[in-house]
Structures are given as C-alpha cells and as structure tokens.
C-alpha cells in the first residue's frame, strides 16, 4: 500500500520563489561584477592610449628641442670664427 503525500502547493511555490530570488540576486551580482571589470578595463585602455599619445608628443617635442639646440650650437660656432676680411673689388 502506497500513500501519496500531497504537499501544500503554496509552500512549494514559496520555496520556488525564494530559490528564484536567490538565482536572480546571484546573476545580478555576477553581472554587476562583470560590468565593473569591463569598465575598469576600458579605463585602462583609455589611459594607455593617452599615455601613448603623450609619449608620441613628448618624442616630437624632444626631437624639435634637439634640432633647435643643434641650430644654436651651429650659430655659436660660426660666431666664434674669425670675421672675413673685406675685399676690394
């Protein structure tokens, strides 16, 4: 003889709702963490890009300064030479 046990459907539904809420809160927290990680990665990419642009600008500025310094040295070297004698034509 097998007797069937009928659990109240309201109690089962309460349990299912509680489990569903736990699953939703877990997936929500995982989604939030993934979103935060994605934002952090995006910020790192932006800062890296800014650093690369700044480094490129810095190298351009350094090249220009080097060129200017070389010109100044040439001018100083020319001014130290003996003046040319005036020739009569």
Q: Which pLDDT tens digit goes with each residue over 38-51?
A: 999 888 888 888 88
Residue 81 lies in a domain: no
Mean pLDDT (whole number) for 52-65: 85
d(CA 25, CA 35): 15
Domain annotation covers residue 55: yes
pLDDT of residue 82: 57
In a domain, 71, yes or no: no
Task: Please give the backbone phi and psi of residue 83, each rounded to the nearest 5 degrees, phi first.
Answer: -65, 145
Domain contains 43: yes
**DSSP-assigned states of every residue in 46-75:** HHHHHHHHHHHHHHHHHHHHHHHHHHHHHH
Residue 53 domain boundaries:
10-61
Domain count within the chain? 1
pLDDT digits (tens, 9 = 90+) for 13-31: 888 889 888 888 888 888 8
Q: Evaluate if residue 33 carries a pLDDT over 70.
A: yes
The pLDDT value given to residue 88: 63
pLDDT at res. 79: 66
Burial 14-24 (b: 16+ CB within 10 A, else e): eeeeeeeeeee
């Amino acid at each position: 003889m097998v007797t069937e046990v009928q659990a109240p459907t309201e109690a089962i539904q309460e349990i299912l709702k509680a489990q569903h809420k736990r699953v939703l809160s877990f997936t929500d927290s995982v989604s939030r963490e993934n979103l935060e990680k994605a934002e952090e990665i995006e910020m790192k990419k932006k800062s890296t890009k800014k650093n690369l642009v700044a480094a490129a600008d810095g190298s351009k500025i350094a090249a220009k300064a080097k060129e200017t310094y070389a010109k100044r040295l040439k001018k100083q070297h020319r001014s130290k030479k003996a003046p040319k004698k005036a020739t009569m034509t």
